[in-house]
Amino acid sequence: MSSPVLLQIDGEVAGKRAFTWEDLKEIDSQWQIDDVSLVDPARSGGAVWLRGILEVAEILPEAKYITLHSNRDDFHASLPLTEVHERGMFIYRDRNQPLPVTAGGPVRFFIRDHTACQAAEVDECANVKFVERIEFSRQKGFDNRPLDDAAHEALHRQENH
């Protein structure tokens, strides 16, 4: 039986567009992070740097934005690629097991040194959980992160229900 696709890549890429758990694990070891807590002590799990995905997906120079889509709970963030190129990672394992949904899995985006919620375009809210699709585009893509405090508080209340 073949493994399910965990990440689908769309848009300005020339290479690989579908990643299973095995595909993520097979990305070159220079891009793997065995223990995310060494990058951010508040986080755990194993990850692959965004740059590892960019290499295998063969991103085109036209791509200026990365949009992270979670259809599971309809949450989406679109970010300037230059701002997350070196800081973005995908947490996808808990030691050698797939990352559980309770931890934002099977695949969760995470930005090293992100700002607090709503403090900048690349903020904590952009750490999209349950990412199923990544889109690379010339223009900013769909983004429904909360824009004001009330909407943000409501989202957090819902997340922690």
Ligand X SMILES: Nc1nc2c(c(=O)[nH]1)N[C@H]1C(S)=C(S)[C@@H](COP(=O)(O)O)O[C@H]1N2
Q: Pick one of Mo ion, ligand X, none as the site partner of residue 134 (Cβ within 5 to 8 A by kind).
A: none
Q: What whole-number distance in Å separates Cα of residue 45 and Cα of residue 140?
A: 30
Closer residue to Mo ion (CB): 56 or 91: 91
Closer residue to ligand X (CB): 35 or 159: 159
Please name the residue that has the structure tokens 């996808």.
Answer: 92
Closer residue to ligand X (CB): 33 or 56: 33
The least distance separating ligand X from the CB of residue 47, rounded to whole angstroms, comes to: 13
Q: Pick one of Mo ion, ligand X, none as the site partner of residue 70 (Cβ within 5 to 8 A by kind).
A: ligand X
Closer residue to ligand X (CB): 56 or 92: 92
Q: Pick one of ligand X, Mo ion, none as the site partner of residue 159 (Cβ within 5 to 8 A by kind).
A: ligand X
The least distance separating ligand X from the CB of residue 102, rounded to whole angstroms, comes to: 10
Angstrom distances, CA of residue 48 to CA of 13, 24, 28, 63, 72 = 18, 7, 9, 20, 22
125 binds Mo ion (CB under 5 A): yes
The least distance separating ligand X from the CB of residue 20, rounded to whole angstroms, comes to: 21
Among residues 94, 91, 2, 102, the alpha carbon closest in space to that of 53 is found at: 91
Q: Pick one of ligand X, Mo ion, none as the site partner of residue 110 (Cβ within 5 to 8 A by kind).
A: none
Q: Pick one of Mo ion, ligand X, none as the site partner of residue 128 (Cβ within 5 to 8 A by kind).
A: ligand X
The least distance separating Mo ion from the CB of residue 124, rounded to whole angstroms, comes to: 5
Q: What whole-number distance in Å separates Cα of residue 7 and Cα of residue 9?
A: 7
Q: Are 137 and 12 in contact (CB under 8 A)?
A: yes
Residue 76, beta-bridge partner list = 69
Q: Are 67 and 78 in contact (CB under 8 A)?
A: yes
CA dihedral sign of residues 102, 106, 112, 113: negative
120 token code pair: 């900048």
117 binds Mo ion (CB under 5 A): yes
